[in-house]
Chain A
Amino acid sequence: MHVGIVTFPGSNCDHDVYHVLRHVLGAGVSYVWHKDRLPAGLDAVILPGGFSYGDYLRCGALARFSPVMEDVVGFAAAGGPVLGICNGFQILCEAGLLPGVLMRNASLKFICQDVLVEVQGAETPVTAGLAGQRLAMPIAHAEGSYFADGETLDRLEGEGQVTFRYAGGAPNGSARDIAGISGGPRRNVVGLMPHPERSSEPVLGCTDGRKLFESLLGG
């Protein structure tokens, strides 16, 4: 199992994801610079959190035009697992790989806190066997309020594409308390605002996030 982690200018969670996959879970991992192509033979691709391109214009709007994204779109279309975390989720939405958009939090504040999210909907590469579980993970974002029109939201719910929902209400104003969704030809594209890489080791106080990476590596 070999995972590619894309680094954009302004990504700042790429090393955290690398650390968890490599040192905690013993997987093969490579960084992929945003100007390069995806190397052949990857089993999964992760777009990490951060502030790609300084969040200029809109979060994720400029990163979607990085050269590597052409390969990421192709990889996703072929059914390859793609996970976008926080800014990575925003990039997936801007790139049209997932529907909707992440808007400024309703409170206008950057929110940094632990949340509980419930795994729902159809199984995805990062939620194998986790349906119904409530996972504790931290969020850290100013633009995490998920928005899509009513028709899109109904379709997401109807087709089991709401993968993560804030238990006990969204802290950021997200439509229908959505914390993460899935898409792609085999629900192989997943985006979520919480940070599983920051909750994968006992020393960090919580290991629930690790389950997502274990699912990804096990698939």
Chain B
Amino acid sequence: MARTARVYVTLKRGVLDPQGSAVARGLRTMGYGEVEDVRLGKFIEVRLREGASPDDERRRIEEMCRKLLANTVIEDYRVEL
């Protein structure tokens, strides 16, 4: 049975998000005037083989985030395991 880690990668506050701004403008044009701001990110599912201890699993997935899945210069990440 594989376990699935759900990784959310989002742009840090203060980093311009031109894609999010374009989507926000689109929504407002469609009549959704309540839209104040949109931030775009990535959702990544990582299926993990069973075996590692929960601590190891958590440590290794966080390492994957720092090394590859997110660029911590501009992005934050959050992991659900």
Contact = CB atoms under 8 A, between A and B. Distances in A.
A99 B19 CA distance: 23
B18 A104 contact: yes
A62 B18 CA distance: 23
Contact of B71 (A94, A104, A149): A94
Interface stretch (A105-113, A126-134, A160-168, A210-218): A105-113
Contact of A148 (B18, B19, B73): B73
A173 B16 contact: yes
**A-side interface mostly:** loop
Nearest to A61: B68
B1 interface: no
Given A104-B19, A108-B19, A173-B18, A147 B68 contact: no
A106 B15 contact: no
Contact of B74 (A103, A105, A108): A103
A101 interface: yes
A62 B68 CA distance: 8
Interface string B18-49: 11001000000000000000000000000000
Contact of B73 (A105, A107, A147, A173): A147
Query: Which among A65, A99, A105, A149 has the highest number of chain B CB atoms within 10 Å?
Result: A149
- Top-8 shortest CB links A-B: A101-B73, A106-B18, A108-B18, A101-B74, A101-B71, A58-B71, A104-B18, A108-B22
17 contacts: A57-B68, A57-B69, A58-B71, A65-B68, A94-B71, A99-B73, A100-B73, A101-B71, A103-B15, A103-B74, A104-B19, A105-B18, A107-B18, A108-B19, A147-B15, A147-B73, A149-B73
Interface of B: 15-16, 18-19, 22, 68-69, 71, 73-74
Interface of A: 57-58, 61-62, 65, 94, 99-101, 103-108, 147-149, 173
